[in-house]
Structure 1
């Protein structure tokens, strides 16, 4: 085996150690992603401390998702304009500044500002890591690389509610940010030694109108979906925002296909493998995020567990996901995508069905086992599929593929939460007595129907898996 197959090479032709490079990337992305769901269980304490209502509190999460989602498509342009080392420091520096502001905040506006600055770094880090991980590993080991990516992307939001629940039960909510600061500092310090430039810059011309359309379209769509998750799909703001977002995104897409230097290269969708895998992964991810919202509602409202106990119920599944992701990556490298995807989807489908029949008497150990089995199925499918999709692209389109892959996943994650919570809320409204408020049977019916919507989506994703081909990892589509 040649030396350049063992060690990666930077843009100057110098070999460097992959381990340190990967560690810095994964740690940085883990810290930024965990903040997406870190405040979920802390919102009641923040509302009380800062004297704000539920709508204002929800904006601390919504704003993070919006800004992060808007920044993701921009990453493809930035990765070809400034060095990846500089972009890493910009992303982590922004996240660090935002974290300091959040930790020191004494007012709602200050906390919201800190979350927005954090989100800028998070939106850049996610596609940056995925692109660099693809380029720093040879083609025959990209499944392994994306298995490591899977640990970060799926594992970090899964453990955030548990960590958050423990901290807010015993300490001030600001410690959610204080504990991050020294870790962020150490990671930035290590990056000075281990982060290398591995992308040859093409320095495309910035099309400001495309940037405007991308931000407006994606921002409007994400805002509308998030509003739907909070107040329902019947709300005027929901429909107007979603329609504006969809129309602007269509205009943006048509422009990208016409200009010579597109802001975001949509021709990646010419790859059948990339298109199919992106859709399937997005559907699976939306059911994962939606389930992580519904299950705590069940355990806290029906089983009357605390936020910490509720988080601990999800923890074994998160651990299973973290363990299986790198294993699934190696299996992909060895056997290709179709077999492992079909096995993973079968496990996910079987494990999801019993959630349609939850009752107050359902044993917690049974829920923990089923949820862990669902995470096993997801771990076998998500990152191998993402790998197969991006592997089908030439190297010069990987940054665009990563940006699009993450953008679609971000939109579908918000959509999944809005659909499942929307179905639950509509069912509760239908079966509740106006004079008695929300009854236990109506809440259970709502939760079961919410999980039914997830099950239907999983079945659709399973069917789409039959359309996959399983090329050898080094084969590129024409």
Structure 2
């Protein structure tokens, strides 16, 4: 179960995969600071511009579960170079931005490339490093998963203020070119090619399920829940996901082996990561709005104010990884969620239209101090309980739910924020716009704090895989194919 595969350059393979995934995940939030500029340049409404972020998440959520199948059809080398090449094409399209349609197409194409790279990264890391080194490796991977979307507003704010927003994509394109050149020489094939039968029903149900769910969550930020634009795709998505789950559990060779969720620590770790990503993406879209709209900081300054929190993540992630085997996931997640709660409570206590900048910086640092101690241990503990043959399926499941979490966090936090603004404006008709905006942000942080409480409770149920009753092979054995 824990035997690793020998490759020529494991560290270089890890570097290529992590940097490729970092650029892709950075793209999730990189345009948050530029949305107002893009709206002005193309004369579009906020609802239209928001699809630059939503569309990205939508494509990722659709493609990531399919990638579990692709990993059984194509070699590691083909998927990595292919993913980087597709990402490069998307970045170039977006950088050229002939019109809004081309920009959106570029985002979608880039998301396809990222959707290929993410599951491959996690699966390959589990295969090429022995279990005693996984703590450090997964610490670095946790850094990629949390730092990239959190750093998006910071870096893009600086780029927008010093150059212009298309340079976000030009810089990404340069990195993709360099990574492709190195990947061609350093990536070894480690995946097992079995070429299972392609089940079109599973692909269709997965696409409708995750696509409908994220579309509904994203539309909910602008439409009432009673609107057919919200409940119709939500209902279709839920029904499709139920049918998808039933089909996977009755197939001899499922597209994604959902039996990974029979492993309790995998399920708990995946859920913990879901909550963590939800918090990261929620704060990632709320704080830039707050700093720019209520406290009147420029895009560059707003980005720089978020930098110390990201620096905490950068410094702490390798340390958490190195200490993981000694401290264990349970202690890290409990202590981590205590800090996450403390950070959110600090935001609730200080957010207003005249909050001092240092208070925002400190609260964000506390929040990310905690998140860094939650994310990597949760993911590593989850994957460590799986047998090697399920790494690809586990990776696809985690990454898919991470994208759903990102979309849910973005959509729900904006919905709660809008509701908070409306309530405050009704209660205080004479309030200035910065006060109304700050009240909406504070309202949204009640939701984020509630999520943190749920995570804190879950952290007490974390155990090491060796402390959990082993799942028998019969419990995860596939059955004969079913027919829909």
| TM-score grouping bracket, smaller chain normalisation | over 0.9
Deviations 1:118-156 (A, max 9, x none): 110011111111111111111122221111111211111
TM-fit CA distance, 1:171: 2.2
2:257 match? 265
Residues 331/304 of structure 1: CA separation in 2 closer, same or farther (3 Å cut):
same
1:98 match? 90
Higher mean C-alpha deviation, range 208-217 or range 19-28: 19-28
Q: Which segments of 5 or more consecutive residues in structure 1 lack a partner in the other structure?
A: none
TM-fit CA distance, 1:318: 0.9
1:422 match? 415
TM-fit CA distance, 1:322: 1.7
1:445 maps onto 2:439 in alignment: yes
Aligned ranges 1:361-372 → 2 under 5 Å: 361-372=354-365
Q: 1:317 aligns with which of 309, 319, 326?
A: 309
1:82 maps onto 2:83 in alignment: no
Q: 1:30 aligns with which of 16, 22, 25?
A: 22
SS of aligned partner of 1:39? coil
1:455 match? 449
Deviations 1:270-309 (A, max 9, x none): 0110111111111121012111222222212221111111
- Alpha-carbon distance in structure 1 between the residues aligned to 2:433 and 2:90: 41
2:395 match? 402
- Alpha-carbon distance in structure 2 between the residues aligned to 1:196 and 1:241: 41
- Alpha-carbon distance in structure 2 between the residues aligned to 1:474 and 1:21: 32
1:283 maps onto 2:275 in alignment: yes
Q: Is the 8 A contact 1:393 1:477 kept in 2?
A: no
Higher mean C-alpha deviation, range 166-175 or range 92-101: 166-175
SS of aligned partner of 1:179? helix
- Alpha-carbon distance in structure 1 between the residues aligned to 2:425 and 2:140: 45
Q: 1:336 aligns with which of 324, 328, 334?
A: 328
- Alpha-carbon distance in structure 2 between the residues aligned to 1:350 and 1:477: 37
1:467 match? 461
Aligned ranges 1:41-60 → 2 under 5 Å: 41-60=33-52
- Alpha-carbon distance in structure 1 between the residues aligned to 2:432 and 2:82: 48
Residues 208/386 of structure 1: CA separation in 2 closer, same or farther (3 Å cut):
same
Residues 248/209 of structure 1: CA separation in 2 closer, same or farther (3 Å cut):
same
- Alpha-carbon distance in structure 1 between the residues aligned to 2:87 and 2:289: 30
- Alpha-carbon distance in structure 2 between the residues aligned to 1:255 and 1:203: 19
Deviations 1:357-386 (A, max 9, x none): 222333211221121111011001111111
Residues 40/135 of structure 1: CA separation in 2 closer, same or farther (3 Å cut):
same
Number of residues of Structure 1 aligned to a counterpart in Structure 2:
469
Q: Is the 8 A contact 2:149 2:284 kept in 1?
A: no
2:406 match? 413
Q: Is the 8 A contact 1:26 1:149 kept in 2?
A: yes
- Alpha-carbon distance in structure 2 between the residues aligned to 1:476 and 1:413: 32
Q: Is the 8 A contact 1:50 1:106 kept in 2?
A: no
Q: Is the 8 A contact 1:101 1:110 kept in 2?
A: yes
TM-fit CA distance, 1:412: 1.4
1:152 maps onto 2:144 in alignment: yes
SS of aligned partner of 1:40? coil
TM-fit CA distance, 1:234: 4.7
- Alpha-carbon distance in structure 1 between the residues aligned to 2:196 and 2:470: 24
TM-fit CA distance, 1:49: 2.4
Using the size of structure 2 for normalisation, the TM-score is 0.92
2:475 match? none
Q: Is the 8 A contact 2:262 2:471 kept in 1?
A: no
1:180 match? 172
Q: Is the 8 A contact 1:47 1:57 kept in 2?
A: yes
- Alpha-carbon distance in structure 1 between the residues aligned to 2:227 and 2:29: 25
1:223 maps onto 2:215 in alignment: yes
Q: 1:300 aligns with which of 292, 303, 308?
A: 292
Q: Is the 8 A contact 1:102 1:111 kept in 2?
A: yes
SS of aligned partner of 1:359? coil
SS of aligned partner of 2:188? coil
Using the size of structure 1 for normalisation, the TM-score is 0.93
- Alpha-carbon distance in structure 2 between the residues aligned to 1:437 and 1:255: 54
TM-fit CA distance, 1:61: 1.8
Q: Is the 8 A contact 1:95 1:120 kept in 2?
A: yes
- Alpha-carbon distance in structure 2 between the residues aligned to 1:189 and 1:161: 28
1:133 match? 125
Residues 473/322 of structure 1: CA separation in 2 closer, same or farther (3 Å cut):
farther
Q: Which segments of 5 or more consecutive residues in structure 2 lack a partner in the other structure?
A: 473-484
- Alpha-carbon distance in structure 2 between the residues aligned to 1:234 and 1:317: 38
- Alpha-carbon distance in structure 2 between the residues aligned to 1:436 and 1:243: 40
Q: Is the 8 A contact 1:340 1:380 kept in 2?
A: yes
1:189 match? 181
SS of aligned partner of 1:432? helix
TM-fit CA distance, 1:187: 0.6
